[in-house]
Amino acid sequence: MEIKIGVQHTPREIVLESGQSAEDVKNAVTAALTGKDKVLSLTDERGREIIIPADRLAYVEIGESAARRVGFGAL
């Protein structure tokens, strides 16, 4: 699943592919924003951990991963 994270005062968003379910990501974001955790911590498909301070989150977009298309065919 593709996750896009906006960070305050940063012009670029963080984009990662994660094997976590949408519900797991939503619970992690909710826990970070309600103050239970001070950081949002997610793991991507390669096993890298992304840690963002909760007070710097601008937005989190949770979406389904799109299959990458190869070639020049008209779709």
Q: Is residue 37 part of a domain?
A: yes
Supply the pLDDT for residue 36: 79
Supply the pLDDT for residue 37: 83
In sequence order, what are the residues at sequence separation of 6 or more whose Cβ sits closer than 8 angstroms to the Cβ of residue 44? Answer: 16, 17, 18, 50
Quick check: pTM over 0.95? Answer: no
How many separate domains does the chain show? 1
Residue 69 tokens, joined: 């298309």
The CATH number of the domain holding residue 48 is 2.30.30
* DSSP-assigned letter for residue 28: H
Q: Is residue 36 part of a domain?
A: yes
Q: Is residue 69 part of a domain?
A: no
C-alpha 1/C-alpha 16 separation (Å) is 8
Q: Is residue 73 part of a domain?
A: no
User: Tell me: the pLDDT tens digits for 19-71?
Assistant: 889 999 999 999 999 987 899 999 999 999 999 999 999 999 998 765 666 66
Phi, psi at 61, each rounded to 5°: -110, 120
Q: Is residue 75 part of a domain?
A: no
Q: Which domain holds residue 45?
A: 2-63
